[in-house]
Amino acid sequence: MFDLTKEIKLNPDWQKRYSLLHFFVYFIFLVSAVYFSYKVLFPSHLFNFFFETPDATKNTIVEPRSPENITLKKGNIKGGALVFDTALPNYEGDFSQIRLNFTLENNSPAIEEGKISLHKSYRAFFYPEGEPITTPFGDSGKFPSGSLLSSGNSVYITDNDKIYPIDNEITFSSMGFDWADVIPASSDEIGAYKKGKLFTIAKPHPNGTIFATKDKGKYYLVEDGKKRELIGQPVINSYLKRNPILADEKSLETESQCSLKENWNIFNRSYSCLIPLNNLQSLAGNDYQYEIIFGGDVELKQADATFEKSFGWNNLMLSLSNIKKKIFNANQTQ
Amino acid sequence: MLTKLNKILNKDLSALSYKIFNDTLFLLLIAYFMLLLAEGLIPGFSSSFLSFTKMTLLIFANLGLVIYLGRINNVSFSALEIKKNKLRLALFFIFFTFLMIRALYKFSVWEIVIIIITSLAILYYLYKIRD
C-alpha cells in the first residue's frame, strides 16, 4: 500500500512496525466499510421502550400491558407476565429473526423463566371474538365507520363520530388499505367529524373495519375492542361497502418462541433471546404481538426488539430498489 | 504538558506516529467524501447512520495531531501550488458543483442567483482579509 509521507524516513526496525500498523489501519478501514455497507444493505429495525419515561415519544414498542389488558406505566411487572406489540412497515422486506433484550433495574429479582411467544397479524385481528352478527347492516349515513376519506392531499379514516388523518402512505399500505376504497369528501363533510390524533402504523384498525380471512373465508367486523363474525352472505354483502383487510386465521395459532438467557454484561443486568421468523413471514399483517412469561415479579428498565435481516439475494435487491426509490423521490420532493 | 509529551516522543516514535496519523487522516477524508456524496444523493441517508459533526471533529482532531507531529519532525506545511495540483482541484470543483446543484435544485431562479451572489461575495471578502 502506498506511502503518503515518503519524505519521513524510518530505520529498518521502525519501518517494519510502520508497515504492520499501516496494513492494520487499512484493514480496519476496509472492515468498517464492509460493515457499514452491510448495515445499509441489510438494515435492522430497532424498537424499544424505556420504562422510566413511559409517555416519551421515543418509545416505539406499543402499549406494554398485562395479559388482562391493563396498561403498564412503569416497569414493575407484577405476576410476571407482559404483553406488547411492535408495528413494522410493509416495505422493509423479510426479517429473519428478532433479537429481544430486557434490561432490569438493579434491585429487580432475577428472571426465573423468561419464555416468549410471538404472533403476527393486525393488531385489531388479535381482539377477542365477540357475538356474531346475523342481521344485515342498516343505513348509518353517507360514510359508515371505518370509511377512508380524502380531502386535499390528506386521507382520513372514520371511527364512529371521530376522524383520524393517516400520517403517511407507508401506514396506509402497511395497514392493508386499498386506494380504490378512498372516497373524496368535501371539507364540510370532514368538518362534521371530531378530529382525532394522527392515525399511525402502531394504531389498531378502527371500528367498522372488516377483516376477511384468506384461509377460512370468514368475515369479521371490528367493534369496541372485539371482532364479530359476520354470518351469512346477505349479512356479509350488507357490510362489505369496501375491500376487506385480508388476514390469516392461522396467525392466531402460529407462533414462534424463545427463552431468555442472562447476558454477560458488567454494566447492567440484562436478558436476551433470538426469535426466528421463518414460520411467520408468510402471514398477513404488520403487527407482532409478544407474550412474555417472566415466572415472577420483575422490575424492568428497558425493553428492546431488533428485527434483523438475513444475508440474501432478495433482501439485497429490495434494499437497492429502496435506495433507488429514495434517490428519485429526493429529486422530486426536495 | 506539551514539553512532557515532546520528551516522551522520541524521534522514531514521533516519525512513526506522524506517518500513521497521515494515513488515518487520508482514510477519514475518503470516508467523509463518500458519505457526503451519499448524503447529497439521498438527504438523510448517511446522517441516519452517523453524525457528521462528530466525524468533522474527529478529522480536525486527527489534523491537529498531524500538524503537531509534523512540527516535531520538521515537516513544512506549504500551500498547494495550483499548477501542480490541477487534477485535484478539478475533482474538488466537480464534487463541489454537484453538491451545489443538488442543494439548489428546487429553488427558483431568482433565489439561486441571490444565493450564489451572496456566497461569492462572502468568499471574496474572506479572500481579501486573509492576510
pLDDT in tens, A247-268: 999 999 999 999 999 998 888 8
Q: Are B19 and A8 in contact (CB < 8 Å)? A: yes
Residue for cell digits 386535499? A152
- Over range A303-324, report the average pLDDT: 86
For cell 475518503, the residue is B30
Lookup: cell for A273: 433471546
* Three-class SS of chain A: CCCCCCCCCCCHHHHHHHHHHHHHHHHHHHHHHHHHHHHHHCCCEEEEEECCCCCCCCCCCEEEECCCCCECCCCEEHHHEEEEEEECCHHHCCEEEEEEEEEECCCCCCCCCCEEEEEEECHHHHCCECCCECCCCCCCCCCCCCCEEEECCEEEEEECCEEEEECCHHHHHHCCCCHHHEEECCHHHHHCCEECCCECCCCCCCCCCEEEECCCCCEEEEECCEEEEECCHHHHHHHCCCCCEEECHHHHCCCEEEECEECCCCCCEEEEEEEECCCCCCCCCCEEEEEEECCCCEEEEEEEEEEEECCCHHHHHHHHHHHHHHHHHHHHHC
HEC assignment per residue over B78-93 = CCCCCHHHHHHHHHHH
Nearest CA in chain A to B38: A327
Element (H, E) at B124: helix B109-128
Residues of chain B contacting A14 with CB distance shorter than 8 Å:
12, 15-16
pLDDT over 90, % of chain A: 62
**Euclidean distance between CA atoms A93 and A280, whole angstroms:** 13
Nearest CA to CA, how far is B107 from chain A (Å)?
A: 9
pLDDT exceeds cutoff 90 at A69: no
Pick B20's closest partner by Cβ from A25, A32, A36.
Answer: A25
Indicate whether A331 pLDDT > 70.
no
ipTM over 0.85 threshold: no
Subunit contact A25:B42, Cβ cutoff 8 A: no
pLDDT per residue as tens digits for the range A123-176: 999 999 999 999 888 766 678 899 999 999 999 999 989 999 999 999 999 999
Chains A & B: contacts with CB separation below 8 Å:
58
Q: Which residue of A has its CA nearest to B106?
A: A334
CA distance to A31, A68, A140, A157, A163, per residue, from A199 (Å) = 42, 25, 23, 8, 9
Contacts of A22 in chain B (CB under 8 A): 19-20, 23
DSSP string, B1-65: -HHHHHHHS-HHHHHHHHHHHHHHHHHHHHHHHHHHHHHHHSTTTTTTTS-HHHHHHHHHHHHHH
Regarding predicted confidence, which is higher, B129 or A146? A146
More confident residue, A166 or A90: A166
Nearest to residue A82, comparing CAs of A98, A104, A63, A67? A67
Q: Is B26 on the interface with A (CB under 8 A)?
A: yes
Q: Which residue, chain included where needed, has cell 412503569?
A: A74
Residue A304 has pLDDT above 80, yes or no: yes
Q: In the block, which residue shows the cell 519532525?
A: B73
In this complex, the residue of B16, B26, B73 whose CB is nearest that of residue A18 is B16
- Let me know: does A268 contact A233? Beta carbons within 8 Å: no
Residues in A touching B105 (Cβ below 8 Å): 331, 334
Closest CA in chain B for residue A326 = B42
**Chain A residues with CB inside 8 Å of B73's CB?**
8
Are the Cβ atoms of B26 and A8 closer than 8 angstroms?
Answer: no
Shortest distance between the Cα of B80 and any Cα of chain A, in A, equals 15
| Distance from the B62 Cα atom to the nearest Cα atom in chain A, whole angstroms | 14
